[in-house]
A = this chain, B = another copy of it.
């Protein structure tokens, strides 16, 4: 008798984004003429950089001739892309990476979800709270998160609250945790850590033999030179951290799928008998067995963002989104809201007014300002009392949304 993985059944039945979709549908049925501005979902809206477009046309044409046709590529990604990544994303920051330390993939969601394959099911995990739900859900699926307790916490997960009370700086735990997820710039709060703050985490990890899973998907949005783009800017991180990167928000690749994961040769984890095992070798084996590389055409598009033209094009698009963020932040503050993030990240984290719950504020914003955000509580217990807005919309929508928000608060 085939048996299911019962850990899946522990996951709550409904999704944050499907609950939101239902509420929007209900609104639309009752208000058929009212247009709604959606600033909730974290998808980009601007076209791909022209350099990537040209690279993809060229790559498509290569597929028409057997002399230039590309079949299976390396599971780890093509050398041309790995070289461009090392040369442009790491070397200028003084980080030396070997070719076999970078694994190109179809995106950071896959990699942050699948990384658990190489780790024991009973490691304890720690997450900053609120967080990107994939970290928790993928751990629930393999039993690592434990069971869902009545207060909404998972029994084997240590939650590190990040709220306005601690300036969104997670406190270093007073106990050993096997695996810690950090995402900086943070989704959903849009906040960052300085080098000094991140160093405390690396020191904690080295002292406690903790593995840090560092999600840097939004690093391209960092404006402040004090904010590290990579955890490997911190000494010792090569021994304790795996870093995830994505082209989704850097270059608008949400629809064409590319990201990469760095697993330095020095990062190890232990067997029960204490033997140290390099995780690079295990991740390589995982990818070679259960993944077959990402599209050649997409990899050429990714390579192209590192050309001088590509760099300038993504700089402009990021500036566009960050101008959105500034307009929204200023608009919200003028309307009397307290807003976090939006300076080194494309996310704004808005404190709900008057002690409202996340969902109450969501409803009020939808019904009175016709603007859609994402309830903060959907990202974890410490997200209660906040709402996330993203800067990935159209400029005119952001401006119009701020007008509505101001009218609604008067």
Binding site for B on A (CB under 8 A): 1-6, 8-9, 11, 15, 41, 43-48, 50, 53, 56-57, 60-61, 63-66, 69-73, 106-107, 109-110, 113-114, 117-123, 134, 137-138, 141-142, 176, 178-179, 208-211, 252, 254-257, 269-272, 277, 279, 282, 285-286, 288-298, 394
Contact = CB atoms under 8 A, between A and B. Distances in A.
Given A63-B255, A110-B292, A292-B106, A269 B53 contact: no
Contact of A271 (B3, B110, B271, B394): B3
A44 B64 CA distance: 13
A42 to B, nearest CB: 9
B60 A56 contact: yes
Copies in the complex: 2
Given A56-B56, A66-B394, A69-B255, 5 more contacts: A1-B210, A47-B64, A57-B60, A107-B292, A134-B290
A291 B110 contact: yes
A260 B160 CA distance: 39
Contacts of A178: 1-3
A294 B106 contact: yes
B47 A63 contact: yes
A160 B119 CA distance: 31
Contact of A3 (B48, B117, B272): B272
Contacts of A114: 290
Contacts of A43: 71-72
A322 to B, nearest CB: 17
Contacts of A63: 47-48, 53, 56, 255-256
Contacts of A289: 113, 134, 137-138, 141
B141 A4 contact: no
